[in-house]
Amino acid sequence: MKDNKNIRELGLKQLEEYFENMGEKKFRAKQVYEWLWLKPVQSFDAMTNLSKELREHLKEHFSLPGLTIDTIQYSEDGTIKSRFKTYDGHFVEGVLIPTSSRYTACVSSQIGCSLSCKFCATGYMDRKRNLNFDEIYDQVALLNRLCEKTNGKKISNIVFMGMGEPLLNYKNVLKAIERITSPEGMAMSPKRITVSTAGVAKGIRQLGDDKIKFKLALSLHAANDQKRHEIMPINDSNNINTLVDALNYFYKQTGSEITFEYILFKDFNDSLKDADELIKIYRRVPADLVNIIEYNPIEFAKFEKPSEERVMAFMEYLGKHRVNARLRKSRGKDIDAACGQLANKDS
């Protein structure tokens, strides 16, 4: 690809100025902008309402480095995993999760991850680079196209729970969400978007300062520092007390919904004592929900899934103590598309 400027880095006003300066009508900018965001295309040649000369000019002066779909895998439960290829030859995965009530796109924010969480396949990969905001947008647009094709419906929800830590790619994630929620983009309500973090306290506070409107999920997975440190090295610099303070600050600034994510690991964090510690944290934060998640085994990790009886005892204990908890059944396990399994594997 040439070193030309990525045309999607330009806003509508900048495009209008550019076209006026080259003697073109101002409305051409709106046409191009719609091709870039409303009906995102992957080449200038696809902008069929522009003259051939104008398309050639754009090709000469700009780049359009969009994502392309490399492979698609279909799960028995209807989940679809897409592996996307970037302009510079990297791969990243996104998942479409259909249920009876919603169609959720699970998207990635980085190529690989630097946090090394012990239960997550992505954590065993190196972080190659952050995804640019338009690459994040492309994932959503391509998964939306796939959803329309397979289900006849648009996606209804977006979760940033794919590869990477969204708050370590803060600017691109927020810019992508701004485009996704814009009337000139997908016009999706921010209340249908959830950003999940492994616990970057500084980033959580920044979300508060930026008065964001989307939902926030914290991947807790252990309710005391000793255990959390064992499975999530980020806890060394972002311990539970620091995160509780950051979440309370975030809620005070935004009023946006907070969810705790908690994967159950056999004989590690699934006892009633663990449940007690989780309840104490839940009561320190105005959290809306605790998502209890099935563990999905990966080849690198030693963890196992608890028995169904153990899971139900944990859930019942939370319910008895008035914790709003939901057991989230994993989808797409047969194609390594479930929580914690994304690793750019070949099909």
Question: Which residue type is seen at 146?
Answer: L
pLDDT score recorded for residue 339 = 59
Catalytic positions, written as ranges? 93, 339
Residue range 68-335 in CATH 3.20.20.70: yes
205 forms beta bridges with none
Whole-angstrom Cα distance, residue 191 to residue 177? 11
pLDDT score recorded for residue 126 = 82
Q: Where are the alpha helices (DSSP H) in the chain?
A: 12-21, 27-33, 52-61, 133-151, 170-181, 201-209, 225-231, 240-254, 272-284, 308-320
Whole-angstrom Cα distance, residue 193 to residue 177? 8
CATH number belonging to domain 5-63? 1.10.150.530
Question: What b/e sequence results for 275-297 when a residue is b if at least 16 CB atoms lie within 10 Å of its CB, and e otherwise?
Answer: bebbbebbeebebebbbbbbbbb
CA-to-CA dists, residue 19 to 15, 29, 33, 222, 312, angstroms: 6, 7, 12, 55, 62
Contacts 24+ apart (CB under 8 A), 65-70: 65/1, 65/6, 65/134, 66/40, 66/42, 66/134, 66/135, 66/138, 67/92, 67/135, 67/138, 67/139, 67/142, 68/42, 69/142
326 contacts: CB under 8 Å, gap ≥ 6 = 289, 290, 291, 292
- How do the domains of the chain map onto residue ranges? 5-63, 68-335
pLDDT score recorded for residue 84 = 96
DSSP type of residue 332: -
pLDDT score recorded for residue 1 = 44
Query: How do the pLDDT tens digits run along the chain, 347 residues long?
Result: 446 899 999 999 999 999 999 999 999 999 999 999 998 898 999 999 999 999 999 999 999 998 999 999 998 888 999 999 999 999 999 999 998 889 999 999 999 988 988 888 877 788 999 999 999 999 999 999 999 999 999 999 999 999 999 999 999 999 999 999 999 899 999 999 999 999 999 999 999 999 999 999 999 999 999 999 999 999 999 999 999 999 999 999 999 999 999 999 999 999 999 999 999 999 999 999 999 998 888 777 788 999 999 999 999 999 999 999 999 876 666 666 555 555 655 44
Q: What angle do CA 324, 325, 331 make, to 5 degrees?
A: 145
DSSP type of residue 43: S
